Structure 1
């Protein structure tokens, strides 16, 4: 697969800039500004500069492709996006045919004696860059960002009660985003089963929750397992065994050009009539094509009174068995919520649900953007908060075999024969709980015994020179042994 920067350079198309000058005599006239769209473009962004409302200049922008009108921007939309599956409100999504497009610019108002300069910048995207609904970072700077990677709406099988009749109806997209906002998440991914229809609504609603990063996604639902594609709007064939997806690895390959992360969902669930294909049973799965494993699923917890599984047969055990085989797979969580309004066993049409954001997946990222969050997942510097989003909570781990050989959670530590590993587990916001250090699936003792003292604790550990481990990670438990935080590994390479 091409490295992201190389791929972006190969797919880059120069922006088109359409500039001109307006005078007061242009009031009430139209200017037709043609531009050419090259083949393969899947998202067009148009930015308008020069419509100075304070100075009395109003430009009303219409967009036309070679066959039809694609939207009318009014004077209040200086930033317009038109993509295959979503578009700015008042514009039509759909295929972007190559050829001569045009902007039809109406000079709605301009004051007497005014000379106004305008520039229309048209930007083309394809591949990974075209998948983001929101391209700008909502927060800048590195930090821990909290979110939910697995939610559903009425575009697939989410149901909630209507008002005022309380009938079971498909649950609107709005309520999932509102729940994510109300539960103090930084980001949320909506992953309806096999469809793209929810993406257009996400694009319409996302600007309303302007501190919440909305990442498009999809749960690819097959008879041999379910997996999420995180950060995707393009079509990928979900018909396992068909011409477009002869096997599960071909399905993974079908998503590669989009830049989406493949994350296997709830692999430990038994497959049967009540949940067809929910457990992972796809033969000959190439886990090198997989980026993440959902080790904590809120739907499973809701079915067991809110208790997340642990130990033999759990999602964690399934994940750790793959770590033992040498795969580097980021452990994440997802609520799998199907009723963002209610979700209680006695009143919700879909029964007991884990709330949006429980569990929360906490990602260390360079900023709060889609590219930043997905890169953070790929880096593996991620932990899961089984109790939901708690701002300020941190679980991190660092390790070293010498002054020039160090690694943080998700990284690889180089280790020569005869070297001990010394490290530190950083825990914040979980005072009074206990750290559980795990190496190659075995629990390792810590002093005192790993108790978290104070709001921000750093607990040292040592792996002796003669202990040939391949990975190590840390969880945090209550004093009674209930897990509340799940950490990702540091991988050890000789």
Structure 2
């Protein structure tokens, strides 16, 4: 997200944190374009109830990426494109500082917005970008990013290295904050814990704070949640999804075989749904929840059921 210091309209840091608290966010990541100009501003504005993660949106000539959790005042170079062959060096610089690198809005429909670099070396992929959320929270660019990420998920899991999906409001205007946002299943509200949760895929994406979701897979006495691996045997696996806040929505279960099961939620938008599979049948399971008409309401990273 952005403030007035980098194309964030008239959003002052004070307004940003007030809006974050108003919509119930626990953390925000400030990612000004190619500058760390506001890094020194956020400390007095944050608190025990609101964590501010320092970052940068690195707007190169052939794609944007997010450097999250960089040091105060650390600037990541952006003056290059894919033909210069320096992206690996820049990503490694962020990793050495303990930060996280995210491929941003891979299919954004404007010059330099399309992400032309390989995902190799990046920690996560933004599949839901909400910059145009005042008009349409879920659009064709997000659909393309989700499909691209989903196609590579099985191969990544089989190879032992898959990249989690991330959702960001990419706030530039008032009213966009939190649409969507990433819910991280972290041990504590610290930068290190949040980044670790994102890196491990212990997260899901919500279109608004009205949506609640949980996903678990169980076999025998073993159970695993989003971003975790289930220690499976030959027995059946019961996958359970609990959803709130999506009236008459549709829940779709996805595995390495594609969309395998769909269930319609009742009119009140709440439901506890189960589906059965096995490790031999499914390498992983993830869930998408959509409003009537196809707009995304929530989506999860996978529960891994079988590995290499």
Task: With the length of structure 2 as denominator, give the TM-score of the two structures.
Answer: 0.85
**Residue 380 (str. 1) matches residue 201 (str. 2):** yes
Question: In the alignment, what sits opposite 2:297?
Answer: 484
Per-residue CA shift, 1:109-133, capped at 9, x if unaligned? xxxxxxxxxxxxxxxxxxxxxxxxx
Q: CA deviation at 1:218?
A: 0.7
- The question of 1:235 aligning with 2:235 is answered no
Tell me the alpha carbon deviations over residues 305-330 of structure 1, each in whole angstroms, 9 at most, x when there is no partner. 22403699522112112313314222
Q: Tell me how far 1:184 sits from its aligned partner.
A: 1.8
Residue aligning to 1:84: none
Aligned residue number for residue 18 of structure 1: none
- Residues 452 and 261 of structure 1: CA distance in aligned 2, closer, same or farther (over 3 Å): farther
- Flag the 1:463–1:309 CA change in 2: closer, same or farther, 3 A: farther
Equivalent residue for 2:111? 276
Please list the CA deviations of residues 128-173 of structure 1 after superposition, one character each: whole Å capped at 9, or x if unmatched. Answer: xxxxxxxxxxxxxxxxxxxxxxx1112222223xxxxxxxxxx422
Match of residue 31, structure 2, among 172, 191, 194? 191
CA deviation after TM superposition for structure 1 residue 250, in Å: 1.4
Answer whether contact 2:253 2:286 (CA < 8 A) is retained: yes
Partner SS state of residue 147, structure 2: helix
C-alpha contact 2:56 2:67 (8 A) present in aligned 1: yes
Match of 2:286 in 1: 473
Uncovered stretches (5+) of structure 2, i.e. residues with no partner: none
Q: In structure 2, what is the Cα distance between the partners aligned to 1:338 and 1:312? A: 17
Q: 2:87, 2:268 → 1: CA distance?
A: 47
Inter-partner Cα distance in structure 2 for 1:411 and 1:382: 10
1:443 aligns with 2:259: yes
Partner Cα distance (1:261, 1:189) in 2: 11
Give the Cα separation in 2 of the matches to 1:310 and 1:246: 30
1:65-104 correspondence to structure 2 within 5 Å: none
Q: Distance in 2 between matches of 1:154 and 1:482?
A: 30
1:257-285 Cα deviation digits (max 9, x unpaired) = 11111111100224xxxx33111112xx2
Do the aligned residues in 1 keep the contact of 2:138 with 2:295 (CA within 8 Å)?
no
Look up the match of 1:66. none
SS of equivalent residue, structure 1 residue 407 = strand
Q: Superposition pairs for residues 406-485 of structure 1, below 5 Å?
A: 406-415=223-232, 420-430=236-246, 432-440=248-256, 442-446=258-262, 449-451=263-265, 457-464=271-278, 467=281, 469-485=282-298
**Residue aligning to 1:167:** none
1:438 partner SS: strand
Q: Residues 231 and 370 of structure 1 are in contact (CA less than 8 Å); yes or no, is this contact kept in structure 2?
A: yes
Structure holding more strand per residue: 1
Match of 1:334 among 157, 160, 168: 168
Quote the residue 1:158 is aligned against. Answer: 8
1:214 to 52, 55, 65: 52
Contact 2:254 2:287 in 1 (8 A): yes
Stretches of structure 1 lacking an aligned partner (at least 5 in a row): 1-150, 161-170, 341-353
* Larger of the two Rg values belongs to structure: 1
DSSP-derived class of the 2:24 partner = coil
- 1:410 positional shift: 0.6
Q: TM-score, normalized by length of structure 1?
A: 0.55
> RMSD over aligned Cα, in angstroms?
2.8
What is the aligned length?
300
